[in-house]
Chains A and B, each alone.
Chain A
Amino acid sequence: MNDYTEAEVQRALAEDLGVAEQGITVVRSDAGLVLCGEVESPHRRDEIVRLVHERFPGIEIAADIGVTRAAAPTEAEELA
């Protein structure tokens, strides 16, 4: 794991059309990589982890990726 691998992972997440995520932060840790951010579905979170495992075998991945909440707002912002 070095700078080049980190860059390759970041680019793969954006450029692979099965993922196409630009909002995932890739952070190196002692154990491997930590992927942080939010996506629109659990399926996309799974695809991200699968892609990184497949393209970068042997790298430990911790995925702290959430699914963005999509509830109706409970209040409005008053712009007076």
Chain B
Amino acid sequence: MIRIAAVGDVHIDRDVLGRFRPALEELPDKADMLLLAGDLTRHGTEAEAKCVATEFGGLGVPVIAVLGNHDHHCDEVPGVVAALTDAGITVLEGDSTVVDVGGTRLGVAGVKGFGGGFAGRCASEFGEPEMKAFVRTTGTVAERLGAALRDLDCDVRVALTHYSPVPDTLAGEPLEIYPFLGSYLLAQAIDSAPTALALHGHAHHGTERGRTPGGVRVRNVAHPVIKQAYSVFNLAPEHVSVPTASGN
């Protein structure tokens, strides 16, 4: 049994310090690790990242994160990453990490991701340079996520993103903004490896559960969606259904 705690979109600043801590003190009794699905800060300053480090550091279990769009806003990403890393938090962007849980190796591959939309209603790499750059950005990060998942040497794979790989977990958001909330390219990357679970945030008005076209379970763990400090997912490796890879 692997127990994964996860939350995203906590948007920490000084005014939030301490709010999560009582629940986090209980976390090692409930889960083997904590995954943070981006938008850890309010608008991406190093000072806010230090608040995140104070709130989510030193838990006694591995903490693995991706950044979100808010964490990029002030163009202080290196400082944000350094503040988190200094507190022992692993920050993924196109790479992966493996955690040993009682002899079972759980691999987590992560990217922030980006937008573009979903099958039949998505943006194309066509037209103005700005449009092509937008779509190309998503394509590039999705390829890095797929490669990171496929290259993992582990028993169970989990994909961690900020943007959503599927429209299912966006239900509740206005349809008009779906292309800014995620991309099917992330799902295609997730489906290109035998992924057991995909976790994301970003969609505050979305819903918790969905699946990729290849059958991988997707969970939106944005804090306003789960309405608790973190959710816990218990994965039984011997029962993890490995869907047929449908992506490439």
B residues near A, CB below 8 A? 3, 9-12, 15-16, 19-20, 22-23, 26-27, 30, 42-43, 70, 73, 196-197, 204-205, 217, 219, 223-224, 227-236, 239-240
Q: How many angstroms from the CA of A78 to the CA of B235 in the assembled complex? A: 7
Question: Which residues from chain A contact B73 at a C-beta distance below 8 Å?
Answer: 20
Q: How many angstroms from the CA of A68 to the CA of B39 in the assembled complex? A: 15
Q: Given the interface contacts A25-B205, A69-B227, does A79 sit within 8 Å of B217 by beta carbon?
A: yes
Contacting A73 at CB < 8 Å: which of B20, B22, B229? B229
Question: Which residues from chain B contact A44 at a C-beta distance below 8 Å?
Answer: 15
Q: Which residue of A lies closest to B239 (CB)?
A: A80
Q: Among A20, A41, A76, A79, which residue has the most Cβ atoms of chain B within 10 A?
A: A79
Are A77 and B231 in contact, with the CB atoms below 8 A? yes
Are B224 and A38 in contact, with the CB atoms below 8 A? yes
Shortest C-beta distance, A47 to chain B (Å), equals: 9
Q: How many angstroms from the CA of A79 to the CA of B42 in the assembled complex? A: 32
Q: Which residue of A lies closest to B202 (CB)?
A: A22
Q: How many angstroms from the CA of A68 to the CA of B16 in the assembled complex? A: 11
Number of A residues with CB within 8 Å of any CB on chain B: 23
Q: Which residue of A lies closest to B229 (CB)?
A: A70
A72 in contact (CB, < 8 A): yes
Shortest C-beta distance, B203 to chain A (Å), equals: 9
Q: How many angstroms from the CA of A80 to the CA of B3 in the assembled complex? A: 12
Q: Mark A15-30, 1 if CB is under 8 A from B, else 0.
A: 0010010110100000
Q: Given the interface contacts A25-B205, A69-B228, A70-B23, does A76 sit within 8 Å of B236 by beta carbon?
A: no
